[in-house]
Structure 1
Amino acid sequence: MSLRARINAPEAPHGQQEESHLVAVYRAKLLEEIDLAEMSSLAAAERRIRLERVLGHIISREGPVLSTHERAMLIRRVVDEALGLGILEPLLEDASITEIMVNGPDQVFVERAGRVELLPIRFSSHEQLMQTIERIVSTVNRRVDESNPMVDARLPSGERVNVIIPPLSLTGATLTIRRFPRAFTLHEMIGLGSLDEQMLMLLSGLVRAKFNVIVSGATGSGKTTLLNALSGLIPEGERIITIEDAAELQLQQNHVISLESRPANVEGKGRITIRDLVRNSLRMRPDRIIVGEVRGGETLDMLQAMSTGHDGSLATVHANNAEDALMRLQTLASMSEVKVPYEALRDQINSAVDCIVQLSRFADGSRRISEIAILDSHGREEYRIVTVCRFAARPMGADGVVHGAFEYHPLPRRVADRLRMANEPIPPAFGVADSEEQLAAREAK
C-alpha cells in the first residue's frame, strides 16, 4: 500500500500505525541531526526550509524506497510534527475549512460551506492528540490538565480554540478550532444570497444615521461576518472602539481602537472581562462602540452607553429571532451585580435598541438575513417589534438548495423621518407606513 493510501485509509489502522511509526522514527532522527540552538534563531519559514532539507538528506541516506510524492508527504508530516500541529497543519492551510472539530484521537470533523464532514485521518494515539493540544495552548501561555480541563483562547494567527479534556469530556480530549473569518463586504454577501440591494440600502442608511443595531443569530449563523461588514459603513473620521472576547473584527477605518478581553493566567489572576472593557471604553471618548458579543452583565453597561449619547453602536447576541433577542438582552442585563427591576430594564432596552438584524443558517448550510426588525416601543411598555423585511423560504427541493424570496414592509414613520434628517434615502421597496394604526394592523396579522 502506498504511503498516501496508508494516510487516507481509515479502515486500515495497521497501515496508519506503520505510517505513524515512520513519522516518529524520522522525527527522532531529525532531532538528532539538527542544532536546536541554531534552529531557534531562525525565522519560522526559514526553519521549516532547513528542516525539510536536512530530513531529505536523512531519507536519501538511509530511508525507505519511496516515490517522489510519497517522499514529499513523509517530509511534510515529519516537519509538521516537529514544528506545527501534525495532521491538523494541512487543515489550517485549507481556506475552504471554517471549523475543525477533533472528538478524541479517532475522529476529525471539518466544516466546509456550512456542511460538516468526517475526514479519513486520525491521531495515532491519545498522547499524540494531547501533545498537539499542549502545543496549541502553550502559544497563548495557557495550560490544560486535570486541574484546568477547559481552555478557551485565540491563536496568534487569529483562530479561536476551545479545549476540553477528560474527566469532563467522556469521549476523550476534544479540540475545536474556529477559523478566523474572512472579511466580506455587504456587496460580496449579496453575491452569496445573504441579502439583496434593497436591504443593503436600508442597512447602510441605518448605520450612517446612527441607529443602534443588534445582530442576532445562532452559533455559526454568520453574526461576526455581518457585524464586520456593517462596521464598514461607518464614515471615516469617527472614533470606533471594538470590544471582543477573541479579536476577529477587521475594520478598515483609520480611527479604530481594538480591545480584547483576557482570561486569568495559570495562577488564576489578571482576568479582564468584556464588562471591564465596556466600562473603560466610555472613558475613551468613543463615537461608536462595537461589542463582538454580549453574554453577561456587560449588557447593562452597553445598553446604558447606547441610550446616553453613543448612538450608532453595534453588538451581537445569541438568539433565534428578534423577540428572543430582546428577551435575551433583558436576561443578560439582569445578570449585572446592579439589581434593576425588569420594568426598568425594558425601559433601557426600548431606549437603546433601534434595530435587530436576525441571521439564520438554513438546511443547505447557507446563511442569510432572515429578518430585519425595528423596535418601535417606548418607555416601559411591552416590546413592539415591527418587521420590515423577512426571508420567506420555500421547502428545499431536489437540488438540495433552499430557495425563497425577501419580502418588504413599510418602515415606521419615525424611522423614515430619522433617515431623512440624516439625508439617507428610503429604499423604494419598503416605503413608509401611513400611520401607527397601519403598523398595528399589519403586526396583528
Structure 2
Amino acid sequence: MSLETEEEGTKTTNGNGLAKSNKKDKSGGSNGTGSNEDPHRDLKSRLHRTLIDEIDKDALKDTESNKDLEKEVKETIENLLEEESKRFSISMKDREKIQAEILNEALGFGPITPLIENSDISEIMVNGPNQVYVEEDGKIKLTDIKFRDDQHVLHVIEKIVSPLGRRIDESSPLVDARLPDGSRVNAIIPPLALTGPTLTIRKFSEDPLQAKDLISFGSMSTEMADFLKTCVKKRLNIVVSGGTGSGKTTTLNVLSSFIPKDERIVTIEDAAELSLHQDHVVTLETRPPNMEGKGAITMRDLVSNSLRMRPDRIVVGEVRGGEALDMLQAMNTGHDGSITTGHANSPRDMLSRLETMVLMAGMDLPIRAIREQIASAIDLIVQQDRLEDGSRKIVKVSEVQGMEGDVITMQDLFTFKREGRDSKNKIIGSFESTGFAQVFLDSLKDK
C-alpha cells in the first residue's frame, strides 16, 4: 500500500472519528481515547497529505536509495509548519515533535521508527494500535507509543512486507519478513489476531556479536569458547537448543564464525538472519506460497537441494519439521561440521524433539532407527537459556555419546552453576567443566 492510499484511508477514518469525537465533546463526554487523544492529530494528517502532494510519490516509495530525499522532506515539512504556525499557535517543542513524527511516517516505519533505531532495544511488540512493548536488557517494558488506529498499524506492516514481494490481507493474514537492516518481522492481522494487527520485530546487531562479546556479557566462559571453537574446526555436528528469545541465533552466528574461511558454507533459513563474514557463503531462504497457494519452497526442499551444491558446511537457521530427517541424513553421509538450532528446554528434550520432527517427515521409521540416526549424527548439544533476570547464558554443553539399548546416552561437558544474586538482583554463577571436556578432546585427536 502506498502512502497515498494509507492517507486516503486515514481521511475517511479520521473524518468519522473526529465527527463522533466533536459530538461527544459538546455534551461533556469522553472522546473515546481519553488522555491518549493527540491534540495535533488532525494537523499531522493534513500536513502528511500536503507532503504527499508536494513530494514525488515514487521517490517516497524508494527511500533506501535516495539520500537527498530526507533533506527535501525535512525542508518541505518545515515550510508547511511555518505556514500552519501563522494560523495556530504551535510551540517549538511541538513543532519538533510533529516534524519528527511526519518524517518517520513518510520515510520510516511510523511511530516505531525511534524504537527500531534504538540499539538498546532488542525486540518490538505491537499488540494493536494502543499497546507497544519493547524488550530492553532482557526485560519487557510497555512504551507510551501509540498508533492512530488499526489501519495505521496495517499500513506500517504493508510498508515492511510490500518491498519483499510479500502480501498480507484477509486471505493471507500472517507473514514473515525482514527489515532492510536484517531484523526479523512477524505480522498477523484480523481475523486471526482479535486485538488488531499485531507486529513483532526481532532486531539484530549491525555488527554481529563475537565470542569475546558473549564472554564479556557472561554468556559463556573463555574455556567454553575455546572448546567450542576447537569442536567447530574439527567438524563436529552441533545443535544449539533453547527457548524463544534465549539467544540461539546469536550463538549460532558465533559458532559459524569459527568455520575456516576456505570452506564453502550454505546457510538455510526461513528468514535470513545469519551474518557470516567468510568469503564463500551461499544464503538460501524459504519462499511462501503465491496468491494461488502454489510455489512454496520449504526448508526441507532447501536442505535437500543444498546437498547438490557441494557444501563443506550446512548451517540451518532452525529445524522445526520434517527437514530434521534430511539434516540428520546429511550429517551421516559425509557433511560433517553442520550446525543448526532447535527449540527445547534441555539437551535431552532436544533429542526428543528431533525424534518428533523426523516423524513429521512422514517416514514410517521405528523409534530405535531414528534414535540411532540421531546418536550417529549429533556430536554436541549447546543449551542456551534466558534466565529470570533477562540474562542469556549457555547453561550446558553436552556430548551425545551413542546408544545403550534403546536410549541415547549423553554426558555434560560444561554446566552453569548458580551461586545466588548480586546487589542489583542479577543472577551470578560460574561456568564449570565437568572434567570430561578434555577426555572428549583427546578422543577427537585419536580419531
Q: TM-score, normalised by structure 1?
A: 0.87
Q: CA deviation at 1:69?
A: 3.9
Q: CA deviation at 1:39?
A: 5.8
Q: Which consecutive residues of structure 1, in runs of 5 or more, have no partner in the other structure?
A: 1-10, 423-445
Q: CA deviation at 1:146?
A: 2.1
Query: Within the alignment, does 1:162 sit opposite 2:183 as a pair?
Result: no
Query: Within the alignment, does 1:258 sit opposite 2:280 as a pair?
Result: no
Partner of 1:327: 352
User: Structure 2 residue aligned with 1:52, among 74, 94, 98?
Assistant: 74
More moved, 23-32 vs 197-206: 23-32
User: Structure 2 residue aligned with 1:116, among 120, 130, 140?
Assistant: 140
Query: Within the alignment, does 1:32 sit opposite 2:32 as a pair?
Result: no
Query: Within the alignment, does 1:237 sit opposite 2:259 as a pair?
Result: no
Q: Deviations over 1:280-318 (max 9, x none)?
A: 110111111111100000000000111111111100010
Partner of 1:128: 152
Q: Distance in 2 between matches of 1:269 and 1:17?
A: 44
Q: CA deviation at 1:82?
A: 2.4
Q: Deviations over 1:202-226 (max 9, x none)?
A: 1111111111111010010000100
Partner of 2:84: 62
Q: Distance in 1 between matches of 2:343 and 2:66?
A: 38
Tell me the amino acid that sits aligned with residue 373 of structure 2.
Answer: Q
Q: Deviations over 1:173-193 (max 9, x none)?
A: 211111134511111110000
Contact 2:129 2:148 in 1 (8 A): yes
Tell me the amino acid that sits aligned with residue 111 of structure 2.
Answer: I
User: 3-state SS of the aligned residue for 1:144?
Assistant: coil
Tell me the amino acid that sits aligned with residue 316 of structure 2.
Answer: V
Q: CA deviation at 1:60?
A: 1.4
Q: CA deviation at 1:261?
A: 1.0
Tell me the amino acid that sits aligned with residue 126 of structure 2.
Answer: V
Contact 1:140 1:156 in 2 (8 A): no
Q: Distance in 2 between matches of 1:259 and 1:38?
A: 30
User: Structure 2 residue aligned with 1:107, among 128, 131, 135?
Assistant: 131
Q: Distance in 1 between matches of 2:186 and 2:61?
A: 28
Tell me the amino acid that sits aligned with residue 51 of structure 1.
Answer: V
Q: CA deviation at 1:421?
A: 4.5
Partner of 1:351: 376
Q: How does 1:167-316 map to 2 (within 5 A)?
A: 167-181=191-205, 182-316=207-341
Q: Distance in 1 between matches of 2:239 and 2:60?
A: 49
More moved, 352-361 vs 332-341: 332-341
Contact 2:184 2:273 in 1 (8 A): no
Q: Distance in 2 between matches of 1:334 and 1:16?
A: 53
Q: Distance in 1 between matches of 2:260 and 2:133?
A: 41
User: 3-state SS of the aligned residue for 2:402?
Assistant: coil
Tell me the amino acid that sits aligned with residue 49 of structure 2.
Answer: A
Q: CA deviation at 1:151?
A: 1.5
User: Structure 2 residue aligned with 1:79, among 103, 125, 131?
Assistant: 103
Tell me the amino acid that sits aligned with residue 112 of structure 2.
Answer: L
Contact 1:346 1:379 in 2 (8 A): no
Contact 2:121 2:135 in 1 (8 A): yes
More moved, 192-201 vs 83-92: 83-92
C-alpha RMSD over aligned residues: 2.1
Q: CA deviation at 1:12?
A: 8.1
Partner of 2:22: none
Instruction: Tell me: CA distance 1:75–1:351, structure 2 relative to 1, closer, same or farther (3 Å).
Output: same
Q: Distance in 2 between matches of 1:188 and 1:40?
A: 37
Tell me the amino acid that sits aligned with residue 67 of structure 2.
Answer: A
Q: CA deviation at 1:415?
A: 2.7
Q: Distance in 1 between matches of 2:233 and 2:405?
A: 28
User: 3-state SS of the aligned residue for 1:360?
Assistant: strand
Query: Would you say how many aligned residue pairs link Structure 1 and Structure 2?
Result: 412
Contact 2:402 2:410 in 1 (8 A): yes
Tell me the amino acid that sits aligned with residue 182 of structure 2.
Answer: G
More moved, 83-92 vs 33-42: 33-42
Partner of 2:172: 148
